[in-house]
A and B are shown apart, each in its own frame.
Chain A
Amino acid sequence: MNGYRLGATGVVATFFTIVTSTVLLPMVLFNPKPSGHGNDYKNAAITKVADPARGRQIYVREGCFYCHTQFTRLQDRGYGPLVKAGDYVQETPHQLGTARTGPDLTNEGGKFPSEWQKAHLIEPRSVKPGSIMPSFSFLSDRDMNDLVGYIQTLGNMRKVEHYVEAPEEFKAALARNTGKTSTTADASANAGRGIYTANCAACHGMEGRGNGPNAISLEKKPANFTRPFYKQYPDDFWFYRITEGVPGTRMPRWGETLTEEQRWYLVAYLKTLPKDQEETVDSLDQLNPVDVIRLPKLSGQIWEPASGSQRGE
């Protein structure tokens, strides 16, 4: 072309080389087998009350993926199991997302009751103070139901193969415990149950469904231990979580109050909680009820701060 044949050939050749290597080659070489553990929004059990497949279309239409991602990374502690290539075969158009203005939703299903999800879509700040999520109150009732149905399927089939590992010192704790407190024996679990009821049930609920009476007032909801992937938590990771708490949540560092033995009993009990099918709390009414706590009447006893005795009664 007027002396620019070489240049034109270069322009065409570079482009097609690159398209072949980075677009066509991955299509040929990268065909992950369905893991069966992605989101099963097509055959979810929930289809009786909502249509999650249609919910996904609404998720796309309302542009949820601009602020919420659907892939967990190694460093995303507390966002559930890591994703694998085979998890995404059903996802067209993909909803991986690139920015998180809100939390990751990979394993969102079952984290909150459906009623909570609906309230959150209608008036986000009524259930999450400080959130800047837009209100989706304009969705029709059917749209809302299906969208919540879809959200509740997210991560429903996810299984765990790789975890964030507990820090080194907890591996040492595991080694220290070997041969002492069994974490599989019924007796240990029974001992752990008491510790659980006394310390954990107020937030995590009596059945470990994350629906304790305190749960309603917590911004970051307590974990639902019936989720199947907790089955695969290794002992040292349970122990690490109990000992160090969860940063940024109200989960305390039980290492400060419970002895090492007590914490191992607790591990033994917690390991009995995960189910094959997680138990989702559908309604706020299912929160564990609580009796009004009656404080003892205050008197001028010596242990009360600024009480009479200190004033030299």
Chain B
Amino acid sequence: MFIDTLLSDREGSAARNFLLSAILWGVIGMGAGLFAASEFSWPDLVHNVPQLSMPHLRMVHVNGVAIGWLSMAYIGSMFYMVPSLTKTPLWSEKLGNAVMWGWNLMMTGMFCTLINGFTEGREYAEMGALLDCLAVVLLVGAAWNVYATVINRRVKKLYVSLWYFLGSLFWFPLVYIIGQRTFVALPGLNDAIVGWFYGHNILGMWFTIVGVGMMYYLIPRITGNPLYSHGLSMLGFWGIALFYAPTGTHHILQSPVPEWLKAIAVISSIFLLVPVFAALTNFFMTMKGRWQMVVTDLPLRFALTSTVFYYITCIQGPFQATRWINWYIHFSQWVVGHAHLALLGTFSFISTASIYYGLPRLTGRPWYSQGLIRAHYWLKMLGFVIMMLALTTAGLVQAAGWAFGIPIDQWSMQIRPYWFIRWISGVMIFAGQVIFAYNTFRTLYSAAPALTPAAKAQEVKA
């Protein structure tokens, strides 16, 4: 019946639907970002349309890519990785699909409210009260599904990815509830402290943990190498658990919040190098003897690019969280570059790897075109590198301006070229995402091409 089509209990349908929705929201979120980026270069592009003014587009961009694209790709990936790691079907595909529809409903609500400026005015927590409640219900639904699957598991030992997924699904709903401040009115600086606890832990307790868990799943799976060290991965897990959550205050290091809180944030930020190096050593040692695979295996190529960007992000992060570096580069576009390095360079790439790896297995159809996957890779990778360089350079110009007291009027013209370069990189990244969506569409809705046995073997590997 109709309800059965909507809430299918076919195995893998929840994961597949989540991944497909993610791709769609990725196009919308990145499109909004590109539009906003063009308004940096052509500020008079749109007049008298509040929906298309830069701040409104920015809200749609941030929420679209973070809560739409990345989070949906994460849940979709967990919905196929967890059953595979536990050798148990997902506890309830119906519940999974219900969460998927609810999530799409929430994203639609997000789009309609934020584009019209109905915002709570809290960075990364802009969605209104109703959508916040819906988000908590959906997160709990997704967590329930994963936890119940793990409880019913047929493999006794929990692989490290499961540690990351289960940890995150316990922490993140709580972080979300604490961080929204929807029903409390805290005085200014306390609001900021809680706000940045949330703002940083949506990264720390969600994007990083699940993303790293996906890296732990994909790299050994694709290469066929066993994980280099279980002990090292546990060091990484507990390191993140201990040191990631208190770092939020480094976003307001120069505001008049208590010094002890800033000290905790700075020290934990530096200590984060421990779990990062543990995880990366693990990934790179697991790759031993298989590095040539990145030439032919595209999901692995995305995954490894993601780990390299993760490495750069996590060197940069503690570096700019120290007081003197923060003194210089805070408020500048450098930080925007860093945010894109984490969310676009690292976690978007690992989500893409997971989709390229998982979707053929969930749908039983090989990718329509390997060439388009390569085009997606190069557009996204080069586009991102160009964006990062442009934003970092612009950030250094700005930072010098603020640090030496030069009024903005004197240097704002100097960074316009970098904003133009950023726009070009945005076009590349957006084009990559559109190609991705097109490739997915053709994969699902065109008759599968007759494959030669050799090509088929390659598809299965890919």
Partners in one complex: yes
Q: Footprint of B on A, CB under 8 Å?
A: 1-4, 7, 10-12, 14-15, 18-19, 21-23, 26-27, 29-32, 38, 60-67, 69, 71, 73-78, 83-85, 87-96, 98-103, 124-125, 128, 130-138, 219-220, 246-249
Instruction: Indicate if the CB atoms of B332 and A100 lie closer than 8 Å.
Output: yes
The docked-state distance in angstroms from the alpha carbon of A278 to that of B431 is 53
Which residues from chain B sit less than 8 Å from chain A, CB to CB?
Answer: 39-41, 43-44, 47-50, 53-56, 58-59, 117-123, 151, 156, 158, 163, 166-167, 170-171, 174, 178, 181, 185-195, 197, 238, 241-242, 245-246, 248-249, 251-252, 254-258, 261, 264-265, 327, 330-333, 335-336, 398, 401-413, 416, 419
* A131 and B412 in contact, given A75-B405, A85-B189, A100-B331 (Cβ under 8 angstroms): yes
In the complex, which of the residues B39, B246, B332, B409 has the most CB atoms of chain A within 10 Å of its own CB atom? B409
Query: Which residues on B sit within 8 Å (CB–CB) of A2?
Result: 151, 156
Q: What are 6 A-B contacts defined by CB distance under 8 Å?
A: A22-B197, A27-B194, A71-B256, A75-B402, A88-B188, A98-B252
B43 touches A75 (CB 8 A): no
- The tally of CB-CB contacts under 8 A between chains A and B is 224
* Chain B interface mostly: helix
Scoring A69, A76, A92 by chain B CB atoms within 10 A of each residue's CB, the highest score goes to A92
Q: How far apart are the CA atoms of A102 and B415 in the complex, in Å?
A: 12
Asked whether B256 lies within 8 Å of A75 as measured between CB atoms, the reply is no
Q: Bound complex: CA of A312 vs CA of B245, how far in Å?
A: 83
Contact indicator B188/A90 (Cβ below 8 Å): yes
Per the bound structure, the CA–CA distance linking A220 and B405 in Å amounts to 12
Complex Cα–Cα for A44 and B234 (A) = 57
Instruction: Choose among B242, B265, B412 the residue with the greatest number of A CB atoms under 10 Å from its CB.
Output: B412
Please, how many angstroms separate the alpha-carbon atoms of A293 and B119 in the complex? 53
- Across the A-B interface, give the 6 residue pairs with the lowest CB-CB distance, nearest first: A63-B55, A88-B188, A91-B188, A60-B121, A77-B405, A248-B406
Q: Which residues of A contact B166 (CB under 8 A)?
A: 11
Residues of chain A with a CB closer than 8 A to B419's CB = 132
A61 close to B121 (CB less than 8 A) = yes
Could you tell me if A15 and B174 are in contact, using CB atoms closer than 8 angstroms?
yes
The CA of A92 and the CA of B192, in the complex, are separated in Å by: 9
A94 lies within 8 A of B192 (CB): yes
Shortest CB-to-CB span from B135 to chain A, Å, is: 18
Q: Measured between alpha carbons, how far is A62 from B54 in the docked complex, in Å?
A: 9
Shortest distance between the CB of A127 and any CB in chain B (Å): 11
Q: Are B185 and A23 in contact (CB under 8 A)?
A: no
Chain A residues with CB under 8 A of B43: 124-125, 131-135
